Chains A and B, each alone.
Chain A
Amino acid sequence: MHIPDHYEFLNHSKIISGKCALETIPAELGGYDAQKPLVIALKSVVERGLKKKFIKTFSNSMVVLGGIYDEVREYAGISLAQDAAILFKARGCDSIIALGCGPAVDLAKAVNVLVSEKIDNLSAHYEGAAIKGPLKPLIVVTAGRSNGREAANALVVDNRELVSDFLCPDVFIIDPRMTPGSCGESVAESGATAMAQAFAVLTDRGINPMTAAVAHPAMSYLAEYLAKGVKRPKNRQASVALANASVMASAAYSNSRPGMANLLAGELAEATGISAGRFERIILPSVIAAMLKKKAWIEDDLYLAAAGIDGYAATPAGERTQRGLEVSLNIVGGLKKVLPVSLSEMKVQKHFLEKAAKAAAAKSGKRFTEAECASVLAQAWDAAGKVK
């Protein structure tokens, strides 16, 4: 395996996955000397009736919930964070639980910064001020649609990103009572995000042993369970596997350089307000097609993770790179029934593409040129029918 000259890896979070994982929250809070958390929940999670199940798990625990702030929908804004911070202070809370993925986690991180740093807004931090020290304990209960930032050391509020190692959640709870998706579309979007992240990590030239170790099971779970999870969103085994894949891919990706699909999808999502997962689904096949055409060199790990040891061992060493890309293309191709397959289908305005290509190339640190990004987007524009 390739040995990098230098690498850094940070994964602060503890992952508790499996039956009755929710019941461990009081003990985990106890470890941080906390017993009154504020719960920041996704509205969609509450509407699905998971709130009741969640509260029930705290029975006989001496933990009092300071309140369940369930105003988070598709977007995390600073006004919501300020409201939740007021609630946090008024109730004398000492920790935060994010019930749900995506914006709920972003908001929980923002509230955590506000209450721990005793500030009213994040403008100082956006301008470069560092977070001074460890924040309050933050526990994430995975449920709903993931945006791939849950395990990362970053938050996005009002489309502005703040990065600090203190932002990593302390504990992830993956419980089969919470993970089943509401619909195949939501599972597919989360899966596409995790797939794009795991793919970016495993195909990055700067891959290191730790990111590879974390991204490997994420890719394996996606290869095995993504199609099943999309077909049957309520399937517990598949939903737990996909939630694990999301968390692992997110943790590995936050320690890796962004891939082209992630950068382009992020730019388009910011410009259009549509979730990045949909764009990742569309752009990733085009990126893979470009890599296949270019015969780009990548580590064998991708094929090993996606096809398993049997497929890997049965393939000659020289073909593993290409087969890895082909298998990845098949995994993403499996989502075509539930998510759009081309940018034209999504009616994205064409002028966004140029801007996205330019911005992605600038953010890539000279790894991709604007022309390469534009070519991928052009292919993604009318990719319908070309994807396996």
Chain B
Amino acid sequence: MNINKYPEIVPGRKFLKEFYVGIMLWVVGRALQVAAKVDKEVKAELAKLPNNFTLRMMVAPEKAFPLFFYAKLLPSFVTDIGLLPYGIQMFLHKDKEGNIKYIGADPKGKKADLSVIFTSIEAAWLVLSFQESTATAYMHGRFVVEGDLPHSLTFVRALDIVEVFLLPKIISGLAVKRYPKWSEMSLMRKFWKRIVIYIRAFTIG
């Protein structure tokens, strides 16, 4: 039997989806950092997390998603500021004083208390391109949670509010479990916070 007739196959990569997921995780991380400063509801939600708490969002398997090439050229104190997307991970840290900070995508030297792990790049794509809401995606097994489940729910609630701020209703309606009524979130608050979060997320943080 000629085994060379059946060659070994090393599957390729989905670069476009990788890049999209990387960007989205960066935007979400930066937006959460800003929203925790400018919005009372997000701040109150994230206050439920213990201090000195690190949250990680990533896509499995970790080895398949190294840092972007330019992230490897920079020292870690620069990448940890998170001014650019550096990889397919997101670290969010709540420090001793209770401040929420996006601390980049490099797992080196960071110990996560809560990990939200997408089972594949396709699963991350489905969630982050808003084809499936967070709740539906969890039901479909698109991601697993390592850590305290109530903390992950706190994170999801904060994330839902941020998504409502950042995205138009037609898109965020797909991403969140229930879109808030006008009485729960006024148009003024929504649009003002949208502007502030976008500006600060891409500038001073």
Contacts and interface: CB of A to CB of B under 8 A. Distances in A.
Interface string A56-78: 11111111111111100000000
B201 interface: no
Contact of A62 (B9, B12, B61, B122): B61
B181 interface: no
A30 B119 CA distance: 11
Given A27-B119, A27-B120, A60-B121, A65 B11 contact: yes
* Interface size bracket, A side: 20 to 34
Interface stretch (A17-25, A112-120, A141-149, A361-369): A17-25
B19 to A, nearest CB: 12
A269 interface: no
Contacts, number: 78
A26 B8 contact: no
A24 B120 contact: yes
B64 A62 contact: yes
Interface string B114-125: 000001111100
B3 interface: yes
B153 to A, nearest CB: 23
Interface of chain B, main secondary structure = loop
B85 to A, nearest CB: 17
Given A60-B18, A65-B8, A68-B9, A20 B63 contact: no
A26 B126 contact: no
A59 B11 contact: yes
Nearest to B120: A23
A60 B9 CA distance: 13
A67 B64 CA distance: 21
A3 interface: no
A60 B120 CA distance: 8
Contacts of B1: 83, 86-87
B33 to A, nearest CB: 27
B60 interface: yes
Q: Which among A26, A56, A59, A87 has the greatest number of chain B C-beta atoms within 10 A?
A: A59
Nearest to B144: A27
A130 interface: no
A244 to B, nearest CB: 16
B179 interface: no
B96 interface: no
B10 interface: yes
B6 A69 contact: yes
Contacts of A58: 11
Interface in B58-79: 59-61, 63-65
B7 interface: yes
Contacts of A30: 60-61
A314 B18 CA distance: 55
B3 A86 contact: yes
A56 B10 CA distance: 10
B3 A60 contact: no
Nearest to A68: B6
Given A20-B126, A27-B60, A62-B63, A56 B140 contact: no
Interface of B: 1, 3, 6-14, 18, 59-61, 63-65, 119-123, 126, 140-142
Given A18-B140, A55-B9, 8 more contacts: A59-B12, A59-B121, A60-B59, A64-B8, A65-B11, A67-B3, A67-B6, A86-B3
Top 9 A-B residue pairs of the complex, sorted by shortest distance between their CB atoms? A67-B6, A58-B11, A65-B9, A23-B120, A23-B122, A60-B121, A83-B1, A59-B14, A27-B119
13 contacts: A20-B123, A20-B126, A24-B119, A24-B120, A56-B11, A57-B122, A59-B12, A60-B11, A64-B9, A64-B10, A66-B8, A86-B3, A90-B3
